[in-house]
Structure 1
Amino acid sequence: MMGATSIFNNTNFLAKDKLALKNVRLETGFEYEEDEVIATKTNLFYIEIENGKISKISPNQPNAKAIDAKGFLMLPAFRDMHIHLDKTFYGDKWQAVRKRTGGVKGMIALEQKIMPDLLKNSTFKAEKMIELLQSKGTSFARSHVNIEPTSKLQSLINLQKALDHKKKTFGAELVAFPQHGVFYTDSVPYLKEAAKMDIDFIGGVDPFTIDGAIEKTIDFTVQLALDHQKGIDIHLHESGESGLKTVEYLIQKVNENPLLKGKTYISHCFVLGKLDKEKQEAMAEKLGNAEIGIISTIPFGSLVMPIPTLYKHNVKVFTGNDSIVDHWNTLGTGSVLQKANLMAQLYGQTTEFLLSRSLRLATANILPLDDKGNQHWPKPGDSADLAFLNAGCSAEAVSRISNVESLIHKGNVVF
Structure 2
Amino acid sequence: MDKGQHASRRAFLSQTGKFTAACAVIGMAGSRAQAAAVTASGPAGEAGATNLTDRHYYLVDVRLEEGFEREGETVIATRTGLYTLEIKDGKIAALHSQGATLADNLPRYQAHGQLMLPAMRDMHIHLDKTFYGGPWQAPRPRQGKTIMDMIALEEKLLPKLLPTSQQRAEGLIALLQSKGSTVARSHCNIDPVSGLKSLEHLQRALENHRSDFSCEIVAFPQHGLLHSKVEPLMREAMGMGVSYVGGLDPTNVDGAMEKSLDTMFQIALDTGKGVDIHLHETSPAGVAAINHMIGTVEKNAALKGKVTISHAFALTTLSPQALAETAARMAAQKITIASTVPIGSLMMPLPQLNEKGVFVMTGTDSVIDHWSPFGSGDMLEKANLYAQLYRGSDEFHLSRSLAIATGGVLPLDDKGERAWPKAGDDAAFSLVNASCSAEAVARMPARTATFRDGRMVYGSVGQA
Q: Output the TM-score relative to the length of structure 1.
A: 0.96
Query: Alpha-carbon deviations, 1:257-296, whole Å to 9, x = none?
Result: 1222221110000011122222222221221112111111
Match of 2:61 in 1: 23
Match status 1:292 vs 2:335: yes
In structure 1, what is the Cα distance between the partners aligned to 2:331 and 2:351? 13
Match of 1:242 in 2: 285
Q: Provide the secondary structure at the position in 2 that maps to 1:207.
A: coil
In structure 1, what is the Cα distance between the partners aligned to 2:385 and 2:222? 27
Match of 1:282 in 2: 325
Instruction: Tell me the CA shift for residue 2 of structure 1.
Output: 3.9
Query: Alpha-carbon deviations, 1:53-106, whole Å to 9, x = none?
Result: 111112124885611111111111101000000000000111100123541111
Q: Which amino acid in structure 1 is aligned with residue 363 of structure 2? A: G
Instruction: Tell me the CA shift for residue 154 of structure 1.
Output: 0.4
CA gap 1:14/1:7 in 2 versus in 1, 3 angstroms: farther
Match of 1:42 in 2: 80
Range that drifts further, 224-233 or 71-80 = 224-233
CA gap 1:216/1:299 in 2 versus in 1, 3 angstroms: same
User: Identity over the aligned pairs, expressed in percent?
Assistant: 47
Match status 1:360 vs 2:398: no
In structure 1, what is the Cα distance between the partners aligned to 2:405 and 2:51? 30
Match of 1:97 in 2: 139
Range that drifts further, 274-283 or 154-163 = 274-283
CA gap 1:213/1:39 in 2 versus in 1, 3 angstroms: same
CA gap 1:374/1:4 in 2 versus in 1, 3 angstroms: closer
Q: Provide the secondary structure at the position in 1 that maps to 2:185.
A: strand
In structure 2, what is the Cα distance between the partners aligned to 1:268 and 1:410? 31
Aligned Cα RMSD in Å?
1.7
Gapped regions of structure 1 (runs ≥ 5): none
Match status 1:411 vs 2:454: yes
Q: Which amino acid in structure 1 is aligned with residue 247 of structure 2? A: G
1:78·1:336 contact (CA, 8 Å) conserved in 2? yes
Q: How many residues align?
A: 415
CA gap 1:106/1:231 in 2 versus in 1, 3 angstroms: same
2:43·2:448 contact (CA, 8 Å) conserved in 1? yes
Match of 1:55 in 2: 93
CA gap 1:294/1:8 in 2 versus in 1, 3 angstroms: farther
Match of 2:170 in 1: 127
Match of 2:265 in 1: 222
CA gap 1:40/1:4 in 2 versus in 1, 3 angstroms: closer
2:182·2:213 contact (CA, 8 Å) conserved in 1? yes
Q: Provide the secondary structure at the position in 1 that maps to 2:251.
A: helix
Match status 1:82 vs 2:120: no
Gapped regions of structure 2 (runs ≥ 5): 1-38, 460-464
Q: Provide the secondary structure at the position in 2 that maps to 1:121.
A: helix
Match of 2:412 among 363, 366, 369: 369
Match of 1:150 in 2: 193
Q: Which amino acid in structure 2 is aligned with residue 5 of structure 1? A: P
Match status 1:307 vs 2:345: no
2:247·2:277 contact (CA, 8 Å) conserved in 1? yes
Q: Output the TM-score relative to the length of structure 2.
A: 0.86
Q: Which amino acid in structure 2 is aligned with residue 49 of structure 1? A: I
Match status 1:251 vs 2:294: yes
Instruction: Tell me the CA shift for residue 350 of structure 1.
Output: 1.2
CA gap 1:8/1:201 in 2 versus in 1, 3 angstroms: farther
CA gap 1:103/1:136 in 2 versus in 1, 3 angstroms: same
Match of 1:347 among 373, 376, 390: 390
Q: Which amino acid in structure 2 is aligned with residue 55 of structure 1? A: A
Instruction: Tell me the CA shift for residue 12 of structure 1.
Output: 10
Instruction: Tell me the CA shift for residue 412 of structure 1.
Output: 1.4
Q: Which amino acid in structure 1 is aligned with residue 62 of structure 2? A: V
Match status 1:330 vs 2:373: yes
Q: Which amino acid in structure 2 is aligned with residue 216 of structure 1? A: K
